[in-house]
A and B are shown apart, each in its own frame.
Chain A
Amino acid sequence: MKAVLWLAAAAALVLPLVVNSPYVLHIAVITGIYIVLAQSMNLVLGYSGLLSLASPAFFGIGAYIATLLALRLGWDSSLTLVLSAIGGAVAAAIVGFPSLRVSRHAFVIVTLAATLLLQLIALNWEDVTRGSLGLANIPAPRFFGLQVTTRMQWYYTCAAAALAAIFCTWLVAGSRFGRAMVAARDNEQLALACGIDAFRTRLFAFCLSGGLAAVAGALYAHFITYIDPGVFGFSVSETLLIMVIVGGSGTLWGPVAGAVVFTALPEILRLTPEIRSLIYGAILLAIVVWQPRRLFA
C-alpha cells in the first residue's frame, strides 16, 4: 500500500515533465480539482455519514466569489481563494445550522433545495452575475503577483490544491475529532451518551466541506475562464458520489483514487456524457442495492 502511494506520488510529480500533451494536462488539472471536491464530499458522506446534495452549491459560490473579485476588483488570488473558502464555509453553516438540528431527511432535502435556490439566484441577479449569459474572460489566477498561465503551472497549482485537501482531511479525520465524527456517524445516541456533541461535530465537518468545495469552484472558474449558473448544476453531485462511494467513503485515499479513475476513464474510453452518466447510474445503483459496506447508519 505504502509503495503504491509513493509510486503514484512520484508519477504525479514528474507527469508534466514527461507528458506535454495539452489534452492530458487538461484532464490532470480537472482531476486535481475533482480530488478537492471528492475530499469535501468524503468529510460529510464518508466520515460523518450524511448525504449532502449541496456540493454544487458551494462549488458555485466559490466560482462566483473568485470570479467577481478577480473581474471587478482585480484582487490577488491568494486572497480571493481564501475568501471563496470562507464564503463556502459560511454558506454551509447557513444551510447546516438549522437543517442538521431537524433531521437527516430535512438535511438531504434542504441541501438540494439550497443548491437549486442558489442557481435561481445566479440566473436572476443579473446586475452581478449577468444571468444566463454568464461571466467570461476570467483572468488567470495570480498568487502574490505571479500569474498561473501555462498548463504546467496550472498542473502544479491544482496538484498543490489536491494535496492540501488531502492533508486537510487527514488533519481532521485522522485526529481525535475524526474519531468523534465516526462515532457520531455509527451510533448517534451512544455518541451523545459519551458526551460527543454530534450536532457541532457534523456542522464543523459540513462547513469544512463547504470551504473545500468553494476552493475547487474558484480554481475551476479561473481554469475554464467562463462560468454561468450551470456551475450549480446537479450533475457534479452524481460524479462525486460515484468517486467517493466507489473509491471508498470514509477512507483517506479511496476518494482520491476514485477521482483519478472516474475523471480519466471516461476520457480514455471516449464516452459521450450520456453513456458516461448511464454507466455511473448503473454503478451507483448496483452498489446501493448490494452494499458491500454499509453506507449509512
Chain B
Amino acid sequence: MASDPVFLAQLAANGLSVGLGYALAAIGLALLFGILGQVNFAHGELYMLGAFLLLWGMTRLGLPYGAAAVLMVFVLAGFGALLAQVVIVPNLARGFESVVLGTLAVGIILQNAVRLGFGATPLDIASPFEGSAFDLGGVLVFGQRLLVAAVFAVAFSALWAFLRYTEIGRAMRATSQNREACVMVGIDVNRVARWTGALAAGLTGLAGVVIAPLFDLYPNMGTEVVIKSFAVVIIGGMGNVWGAAIAGVALGLAESYAGGLGNAAIRDAIGFIVMIAMLLARPEGLFGRSVRV
C-alpha cells in the first residue's frame, strides 16, 4: 500500500494543503520578526482568537461565514495595532526578551478570557465549504482546503504588493534593514510597528478563520499553532517571508509522508527536531534573514 501511487498522491495533496495552511499561519510571525526583530508569543492566541471571534460572529450575530470572516480579520488587525502599541513600542529599545514576556502575558490573558467566555469543551464551526470534496483521479481534495490554498495565494500576493508599492510598506522594509538609520532619516518607527502589528495579526486572524473550520475549537489550540509557526519561521530563515512560505509547504509535506508511511509520533516530532537542528546548525535558517519581497 505504501507504494500505491494514488495513496502517495493523496499524501502529497494532503501535505500540500496542510502546508499552505502552516505557511499562512506563520506569515504574521515571520513579518513581525523580519521587520521589528521581535518574537510574538501571543501568535497562537491571535489565531485562536480569530477562530473564536468567527464562531461568535456566526452564532451570536447571525452573520454568514464569509462576512463574519472578513469582519474578524479587521478586528484582529485592529487588535494587532493595539498589541504593538502597548507591548512592542515601549520595549523596542530593551532586550527582545521583554517582548517575549509581554506577548506571553497577552497570550495567557487571551487564552483564559476565551476559556471563561466559551468554556473548555471543543466547539465546531460550520463552514459552507466543509461538505464539498473533489475527486481528482482518486485523490480527494476538500473544499475548505482549497479555500485555504486560494486565500494563501491571495494574501501572499496582497502582502507582496503592499510591501512593494505602498509608502508604509517601503518604510517597513527599510525598518527591517536598519532600524537606527530609519530613525535618522525621519521614519516613524512606532508607526511602522503599529502597522506591522496590524498586518501580522490580520494575517494570523485570516489563517484562523479559514483553517479553524477544519478542526475543533478549544482555548489552547494556539499552542500547537505557535510551535508549528516557530518551526516554519525558523526553517525559512527568521523573518524571511518567502522562506516561511516554502518551509510551511515543506513541513506539511514532510509531516504528511511521515504520518502516512511512519507513525503519528514521528509526524508530531518532525517539526521540533528540524527546528532545533536548524536553530543550532544554521541560525539564519535555510534562506537567510531579513524580509525579502
| Bound CA span A275–B112, Å | 7
By a CB distance below 8 angstroms, the chain A residues around B268 are 120
Q: Mark interface residues in B161-190 (1 if CB within 8 Å of A CB, else 0).
A: 000000000000000000000000000000
Q: Specify which of B108, B112, B234, B272 lies most central, judged by the most chain A CB atoms within 10 Å of its CB.
A: B108
Indicate if A261 sits at the interface (CB-CB under 8 A): no
Interface of A is mostly: helix
By a CB distance below 8 angstroms, the chain A residues around B91 are 288-289
Closest A residue to B94 by CB, please name it. Answer: A296
Contact pick for B105, options A49, A120, A281, CB 8 Å: A281
Residues A274 and B112 in contact in the complex (CB < 8 Å), given A241-B101, A284-B101: yes
From 56 to 98 in chain B, residues with beta carbon under 8 angstroms from any chain A beta carbon are: 86-87, 90-91, 94-98
Contact B230 A109 (CB under 8 A): yes
By a CB distance below 8 angstroms, the chain B residues around A116 are 227, 272
From 257 to 282 in chain B, residues with beta carbon under 8 angstroms from any chain A beta carbon are: 265, 268-269, 272-273, 275-276, 279-280
By a CB distance below 8 angstroms, the chain A residues around B90 are 289, 291
Q: How far is the CB of B101 from chain A (nearest CB, A)?
A: 5
Q: Mark interface residues in A91-129 (1 if CB within 8 Å of B CB, else 0).
A: 000000011001111101110111011001001100000
Q: Mark interface residues in A74-106 (1 if CB within 8 Å of B CB, else 0).
A: 000000000000000000000000110011111
Contact B230 A113 (CB under 8 A): yes
Contact A105 B272 (CB under 8 A): no
Contact B105 A296 (CB under 8 A): no
Contact A294 B94 (CB under 8 A): yes
Contact B98 A120 (CB under 8 A): no
Contact B108 A296 (CB under 8 A): no
From 98 to 130 in chain B, residues with beta carbon under 8 angstroms from any chain A beta carbon are: 98, 100-102, 104-109, 111-113, 115-116
Contact pick for B106, options A106, A238, A281, A296, CB 8 Å: A281
Q: How far is the CB of B82 from chain A (nearest CB, A)?
A: 12
Closest A residue to B219 by CB, please name it. Answer: A274
By a CB distance below 8 angstroms, the chain B residues around A275 are 112, 116
Contact B275 A234 (CB under 8 A): no
Contact A51 B101 (CB under 8 A): yes
Q: How far is the CB of B232 from chain A (nearest CB, A)?
A: 12
- The interface on chain B, measured as residues whose beta carbon lies within 8 A of the other chain's beta carbons, has a size of 39
Contact pick for B96, options A104, A120, A277, A291, CB 8 Å: A104
Contact A296 B280 (CB under 8 A): no
By a CB distance below 8 angstroms, the chain B residues around A103 are 283
Q: How far is the CB of B46 from chain A (nearest CB, A)?
A: 15
| Bound CA span A99–B234, Å | 14
| Bound CA span A156–B15, Å | 55
Contact B106 A285 (CB under 8 A): yes
Indicate if A11 sits at the interface (CB-CB under 8 A): no
Contact A281 B112 (CB under 8 A): yes
| Bound CA span A99–B87, Å | 26
Contact A288 B108 (CB under 8 A): no
Closest A residue to B234 by CB, please name it. Answer: A109
| Bound CA span A297–B96, Å | 9
Contact A110 B87 (CB under 8 A): no
Contact A110 B95 (CB under 8 A): no
From 127 to 158 in chain B, residues with beta carbon under 8 angstroms from any chain A beta carbon are: none
List B residues at the A interface (Cβ < 8 Å): 39, 86-87, 90-91, 94-98, 100-102, 104-109, 111-113, 115-116, 223, 227, 230, 234, 238, 265, 268-269, 272-273, 275-276, 279-280, 283
Sorted from nearest, which 8 A-B pairs have the closest CB atoms? Answer: A296-B95, A281-B108, A284-B105, A281-B109, A285-B105, A288-B102, A124-B265, A51-B97
- The 16 sampled A-B contact pairs (Cβ below 8 Å) are A99-B280, A104-B96, A109-B39, A110-B279, A116-B227, A120-B272, A124-B265, A238-B104, A275-B116, A278-B109, A281-B112, A284-B105, A289-B86, A294-B94, A295-B95, A297-B95
